[in-house]
Amino acid sequence: MNQRPNSNAARDIASVLHPYTDLKQHLETGPLVIVRGEGVRVWDDHGNAYIEAMAGLWSAALGFSSERLVAAATQQLRKLPFYHAFNAKSHEPLIQLAEMLLERAPVPMSKAFFANSGSEANDTAIKLVWYYNNARGKPAKKKIISRQRAYHGVTVASASLTGLAANHRAFDLPLPGFLHTLTPHFYHKGRPGESEEQFAARCAEELERLILAEGPETIAAMFAEPVMGAGGVIVPPATYFEKIQEVLRRHDVLLVADEVICGFGRTANYWGSQTFNIRPDILTCAKALSASFLPISAVLVSEEIFTTIAEASHEIGTFGHGFTYSGHPVPAAVAIEALRIYDEIGLIDHVRAVAPLFQKRLAELGEHPLIGEARGVGLIGGLEIVQDKSARRNYDPALKIGPRAAKLLEKHGVIGRALAGDVLAFTPPLIISESEIHELFDRVGEALDALYGQLIREGLAPAP
């Protein structure tokens, strides 16, 4: 047997295939190895501390330490470490978590189905939409609409919903029957003299043209994130969802709200659907459902959808979908405790209290010479780096300015994330304090200044 490398970094390079990573470059540069966390901070294996400004992956709502969640997992492991939900089997954490989610849903929902990730939840929602239309005698009504730059996951079906080139290229995706409509990004897509509401109306008109061109009898559903996350932190323009929903209702098209990022307080309401007046037929959630201490996701369905698919399952003899770990008792117990904590500490009220400062500091960085637009809502924010502010022109993607900025953030003690279009995203743990928000954006400003100086010296940015 070959001797193992000594350092964590060397061992990682030798053994791990990383998601969302330049795999060849990783062989040379290696990983940032995180060894512990507390509050909004994490530490690497060299002892360096970072403000984790992405809450991991938009998800660690309570930060990186909670003895109550550890205790909830430990107690459940001792009591019932595993059971399933197949063949009408159940257990108390499964039942209680379903009840809690239905009580908290933004619109009346009938039942909760559990999976292990946002991708699985959205994949399940796709199958439910198809099953529903077959059950109600509309077998041609199967096409699904998403949006350009949307992010809904990485399974074969959910990646087809996703509207990002890197998730399609070389994977032979999207599958047939998945359509993409206009990104509701007013900064880049709005026309001269056009108001946000006029732009929203144009988005709705384009959606309706797509539905009519394909045939309304073939369109089953539209999936939408309240705020588009991985596609660039895109906040919808005023009245967008009201206008979109009018079109969908007119053509008997279901709306699936992907609350994987926005759910549980991120937008300063319990659900992004409440922030943007969305009334979904199906809702998917994950990430902050368990504060990301353990993997779990959920799909909530309306009474109309449940009743229809229940009749079909009776005719067939079973509902032929589910995962071994659907509603696993240990993640379910942790999720129950997370929801209790959110209620007890007044997490939504806290987000509402600190979000104005977060958005103020974010907006101030929008004046930086490198930033074309600062955008966000609640405790979600994005800074778009541009080469020409007046023309709203981005840098050539080949220059990888965004990833370069993310590395400089790390050098200044912040973990952020560079998204397509050189957008720096910030979604810190929802427990972040005002002093930590100031510290975060002070460091971000320093990193942007360092990047600006480098680009000036390289002739890629004009001197002030």
Report DSSP letters for 65-96, one per residue. Answer: --HHHHHHHHHHHHH-S----GGG---HHHHH
What CA–CA distance (Å, rounded) separates 204 from 188? Answer: 17
Q: Which residues of 318-354 are buried (b: 16+ CB within 10 A; e: fewer)?
A: eeeebbebbbbbbbbbbbbbbbebbeeeebbebbeeb
Distance between CA 254 and CA 305 in Å, rounded?
10
Long-range CB contact pairs, 269-272, < 8 A, 24+: 269/348, 269/378, 270/104, 270/106, 270/348, 271/105, 271/106, 271/226, 272/225, 272/226, 272/227
Average confidence score pLDDT of the chain: 97
Report the C-alpha gap between 292 and 171 in whole angstroms: 28
Q: What is the pLDDT of residue 4?
A: 62
Contact 445, 405 (CB under 8 A): no
Instruction: Give mean pLDDT, residues 280-294.
Output: 98
What's the pLDDT tens digit per position in 116-144? Answer: 999 999 999 999 999 999 999 999 999 99
Residue 347 in this model has a pLDDT that exceeds 90: yes
pLDDT, tens digit, 9 for 90 and up, residues 357-368: 999 999 999 999
413/287 Cα distance (integer angstroms): 24
Measured over all CA atoms, what is the biggest interatomic distance in the chain, rounded to whole angstroms? Answer: 72
Q: CA 215 to CA 162: how far, in whole Å?
A: 22
Q: Centre a 10 Å sphere on the Cβ of residue 453 and count the other Cβ atoms it contains.
A: 12
The amino acid present at 86, given as its one-letter code, is: F
In this prediction, residue 370 carries a pLDDT of 98
Per-residue pLDDT of 70-110, as tens digits, reads 999 999 999 999 999 999 999 999 999 999 999 999 999 99
255 with 214: CB under 8 angstroms?
Answer: no
* Residue 370 near residue 385, CB atoms below 8 Å: yes
Distance CA 217, CA 136 (A): 13
For the chain, give every domain's residue range: 32-65+347-457, 68-344
- Asked if pLDDT for residue 6 goes beyond 80, the answer is no
pLDDT score, position 428: 98
Q: What kind of fold does domain 32-65+347-457 have according to CATH?
A: Aspartate Aminotransferase, domain 1 (3.90.1150)
Which single residue is written with the structure tokens 């998204």? 419
Q: Say what the pTM is.
A: 0.96
**Taking a C-beta distance cutoff of 8 angstroms, is the pair 147, 184 a contact?**
yes
pLDDT at 1: 37
* Domain boundaries 68-344, corresponding CATH code: 3.40.640.10
The torsion angles phi and psi of 62, rounded to 5 degrees, stand at -100, 15
Residues 166-218 have pLDDT tens digits of 999 999 999 999 999 999 999 999 999 999 999 999 999 999 999 999 999 99
Residue range 279-298: mean pLDDT, rounded: 98
What is the model's pLDDT at position 464? 85
- Cα separation, 268 vs 117, in Å, equals 23
Residue 233 has pLDDT above 60, yes or no: yes
